[in-house]
Structure 1
Amino acid sequence: MTTFLVPDYDEAIAFFRDALDFKLVEDSDVGGGKRWVVVAGASGGRLLLARATDDRQRATIGQQTGGRVGWFLQSDDFASDHSRMAAWGVEFTEQPRQEAYGTVAVFKDPWGNAWDLIEHREAA
């Protein structure tokens, strides 16, 4: 599980659940306005959605990897996932492209972090 800074729990849950088809694993109140929010992708990778609580943390939202792709969303049906995500309003920064390893396109989450949507090609 990896911590992922967000400005708002509910906005982040909606994005991961509705746009990326993640499952909400846990959403527990831990007091003091904090929640333990865990989402999981179909491949089992989990993110702990952590609401930024001070200026330093808020300044890193959307810049958690310095502008590089930091997360990889595995797809078993690239065309379907790309279409669903685009319809939800996900910003793709490029057209899908074919690489030696499969089909890929970079997208940004609502906060500016870069991700790859990727469907790996079957090994020969």
Structure 2
Amino acid sequence: MRINLTSVFVDDQEKALRFYTEVLGFAAKHDVPLGEDRWITVVSPEDPEGTELLLEPSGHPAVPPYKAALVADGIPAASFAVDDVRAEHARLAGLGVRFTQPPVEMGPVTTAVLDDTCGNLVQLAEYK
């Protein structure tokens, strides 16, 4: 068994697609129209056949309070592995990305948390 697909709920799929590809550097994999919404997935360019991230619309009534509660408590909706958190933090901050947590060492992992501009916090993690 392996993880094939996971998702984050986004307020605006087009805005999310731009952020996750143009800023974070993921590659678009699928973009299928589904009525008012789309089935949009992105992947790591380092592993194009790997786990896909679905940029899922936040239309279900349970989603807005769920997302608001996570953000209010500072809980990331997703975590992405990076080779160097400090370098990625500097690169993204230079692009105007807002961080809610700068790089912090926590034992065998260094993390930083950013705002994805679509209603989520996202953790970047470097594992030693």
Match of 1:13 among 17, 41, 48: 17
Query: TM-score, length-normalised on structure 2?
Result: 0.75
Instruction: Give the ranges of 4+ consecutive aligned residues of structure 1 lying more than 4 Å apart after TM superposition.
Output: none
Structure 1 unaligned blocks of 5 or more: none
Aligned to 1:46: 52
Once the two structures are TM-superposed, the CA of residue 84 in structure 1 deviates from its matched residue by: 1.8
Alignment of 1:12-31 (within 5 A): 12-30=16-34
Aligned to 1:103: 110
Rounded Cα–Cα distance in structure 2 between residues aligned with 1:105 and 1:7: 22
> What one-letter code is carried by the residue in structure 2 that aligns with 1:25?
K
Aligned to 1:2: 6
Task: Check conservation: 1:62, 1:111, Cα contact below 8 A.
Answer: no
Structure 2 unaligned blocks of 5 or more: none
Please give the per-residue CA displacement for 1:24-82, whole angstroms capped at 9, x wherever unaligned.
1111123x22211001235643221122336x256247437463223111001323321
Query: TM-score, length-normalised on structure 1?
Result: 0.77
RMSD: 2.4
> SS where residue 101 of structure 2 aligns?
coil
Which stretch of the first structure deviates more once superposed, 8-17 or 67-76? 67-76
> What one-letter code is carried by the residue in structure 2 that aligns with 1:70?
A
CA distance 1:23–1:112, shift in 2 (3 Å): same
Rounded Cα–Cα distance in structure 2 between residues aligned with 1:12 and 1:59: 16
> SS where residue 53 of structure 1 aligns?
coil
1:114 aligns with 2:126: no
